Structure 1
Amino acid sequence: MGQQHQAVLHGGLGLLLAGLLAQPVHAEYGMNLVRGATDYSHRVFDVHMVALWVCVAIGVVVFGAMFYSLFAFRKSRGAVASNFHENTTVEVIWTIIPFIILIGMAIPATRTLIDLEDTSESGMTIKVTGYQWRWQYDYLDQGVSFFSNLAATSRDATKGDPKSIEHYLLEVDEPLVVPINTKVRFVFTSNDVIHSWWVPALGWKQDAVPGFINDAWTNIPRPGVYRGQCAELCGKDHGFMPIVVEAKTREDYEAWLTTKKAEADAAKSGADREWSKDELVERGKAVYGTYCVACHQANGQGIPPAFPALAGSAIATGPIESHIDRVVHGKPGTAMQAFGAQLNDVDLAAVITYERNAFGNDKDDFVQPKQIKAAR
């Protein structure tokens, strides 16, 4: 029986060893920095790897000496501790060597950080504003502005198996689009709490702080889609404000820019016409699902006390002027944001109309965009 057990044990160890050797030697475990898509991200990665291997070498020397000393000079072997007070030469050596190592690591790291702060000679500037829980992108040189929200399909996907969903919680309805081979300057701020804009492929992240402006830049050499997310715990839906950067060729970027400007012009013209109630309710349902559902929930019941219900509420069933004022200007001291700066007149009229005719409210009235314009 003993020989049989040994044979089984040896066979099992052999299979385990074969399985380990069969694994890819370059498997990605997600525990290191990514090399990224830009020249700057490559520099960051290289500086990081140099520092990592320097620390590994120091650890091998220090712990190797320690373990050797513990083994070779243990009491059971009759070792007797030396009795001395100091050794100036050794102390000078172990002070100078770490100093040289630190300086050698600090010089390339400092150069890399200084280069990140140099946003001069940029080809365009994009203002990034963090909101609970979405991003606003203002193309300051082109007059284009829009919000980027978690895609509705991604929010619905939270009810399924995350492993079966590609880009789980990393899809948006409006990606940030930039041209390749262009130095793009970003300026960051926030409308409410601290957020952090982070796309690993760019090699950096930057905080968006209320009342402050931070900046950074990137230059993406090849077309592609690069994903990230808010890296600062910013509230209830922190995990639901992803970032998608889409780099396009100059020609494709110009075509996209033309389309966005046309959409903005169409939104302005739409505010000048009369809308039917059914049109407003249909559009308002979509707006509510993007901007309001996180707090007030799909059924309008909210999450009291922080996020009150809309179903049967005094605002949604009261005077229409009060409802407009609350949505446009918000309520200071509460989680209710002012959506006047976030939505256009048509979308504001639509979502207010929807809220007054959904969740059992049935007010049977509606708001025209011109009423929103007058209330601003």
Structure 2
Amino acid sequence: MKLIIGPSLLLLASTLLIGCSSSHKAKKSNATVASMSKEGSKEALDETIASWPSRPKLAIQQMMDKYGPPTEVSEAAVIWRDVGDYKRIMVTKTEIPHDFPMPHMDFLEHTVSYMVPADKADELLAFDGSITINKTAGEMSARCDLEGHNILTLNLANDIVKNNKGVKEARTEFGKNVVADFAGQHPAYVEKLQFKPHSPMKAAFPDVAVIAGSPVRATASTNMKGDAEIMGKVLAVDLNEVLAASTATKKDVSKPVMDYANMLQMEHAKNQKATMMLGQKIGMKPADTKAVDELKKKGANELSMLVPLKGEEFEKAYIAGMIKDHNAVLAMIDNELIPAAQSKDLKSHLKMTRDHVAMHLEKAKEIEKNL
């Protein structure tokens, strides 16, 4: 079945092309956000979007009138978070040509928390190519030029997921609703969501680990301490060193530093694998707890300060960082991990890990003397 668009819709093409204003009235939200609550922030927004195309600028004004000031403003996008029924609303400076149901430009996106079944993804994309699905985050987004038409897209997408409509029927209904909308008939599917978005926690799908012995992510309802957390901390340390070493191997550094980085990457990766195999042996998966995550964050913060450096400046900072980090890891193993470990096999693994860390530390000290 072909989508049939009547003359009344075609007459409205020019309206779409210049960015139509929505016919839907709504009370202005009292939402306030930090980025727009500061003195002069409205002026800063106006300055940021001064060179934007007229249609996205209009959409920003319409969203502000309905939802209040945005949460985030950048050169590329203006974003509202957790307003109305939406997890996120975004207006982008970039306009993308889109010919369904008739030629217009996409620049306004509405996102809801929604768990899309994997077997429905193809149907949704066949219905409207401007739908985006983030299964991991549990999000479904619609992108168009009008809020009402994004609402329409999301409502029809929900119908497809619920098997209430097929793709062809949904596309035809989209065209009919657009005609009715511009005729001032206020179709329900254009006015508001006809379903309740899923809760973010239930919609999200973190997926399933496929690497044997991978850690288990701890939640607020789980108490994963003891040996499981100890193994998680060892893995976090190894990960930090692997990422730092990988960064060093991509820099223009001297041979001693390059050789050292290659050694660290190889040996810490090997220890990662050994730790996960140990978990399988003792019947306990490493735990990715809050404390473990803090170690990863610490590593990321330190690496972020190394990345911009080059040449000799990078070499000195990298080796100094390795000395500092390996000293800290030795202290953690000696004072925290080994005393707390219950499994004999884990204690043995920690002692072996300690020997490698101590060797890495001494090697770094030798290199530092010649920098």
Pick the TM interval, shorter chain: under 0.3
* Pair member with larger Rg: 1
Higher helix share: 2
Q: Under a length normalisation based on structure 1, what TM-score does the superposition of the two structures give? A: 0.27
Output the TM-score relative to the length of structure 2: 0.27
